[in-house]
Amino acid sequence: MKLSGVNGQTGENFEAEIDDLNEGFIQSMSDFEMSEAGIKKLIDNLDISADVKSALYWISTTTIKAGKFIINIGRKIIDFVCAVYKEYPSATFGLIFGGIVGCLIASIPIIGFILGSIATPILMALGLIIGGKEDLEDKRLARKIAEINAEFSPLNS
């Protein structure tokens, strides 16, 4: 199947031929966890600069043409990131925090060049693991609270 699109920054056209693309994949790229309004609301509520929000909105409007289908690939990417962020906020924060600390280490003159390439992936993985563990513990607690509420639901009038 032939893919085509336009680079939003340069205006250049690109084309590629992909043999493995089937309609099942195209359908999966058209199914979204969040509505456009939900993604917009989540991006609006992020504590980031207006420039970054604008970039996220721009990414969410990026499309490619696959044969006779238009795939909103940017929205699918943002949808996936938002779903992961909503489901695992601590893991997401830990991953980002580890990346930032790794970049700070990499910015140290001379030794940062050596340590940065080692420390960054290790710190990102560590942040992901610690945050993920916290998220999993929170989910267990939430399930337990829901079970208890269900046991007492007959008492509601």
Residues 71 and 118 in one domain: no
Shared domain for 94 and 83, answered yes or no, is no
Q: Based on the fold, state whether residues 79 and 109 are members of the same structural domain.
A: no
Domain co-membership, 53 together with 106: no
Q: Are residues 99 and 27 in the same domain?
A: no
Specify the pLDDT at position 157. 46
Q: What is the pLDDT of residue 5?
A: 80
Residue 32 CA: distances (Å) to CA of 3, 38, 47, 52: 21, 11, 24, 22
Domain count, the chain: 2
In the chain, the percentage of residues whose pLDDT exceeds 90 is: 0
Pick the last residue of a domain from 56, 87, 118.
87
In this prediction the pTM is: 0.59
Same domain? For 80 and 113 the reply is no
Domain holding 99, by residue range, is 89-155
45, 66, 87 - which closes a domain: 87
Degrees to nearest 5, angle at CA 79 with 43 and 41: 25
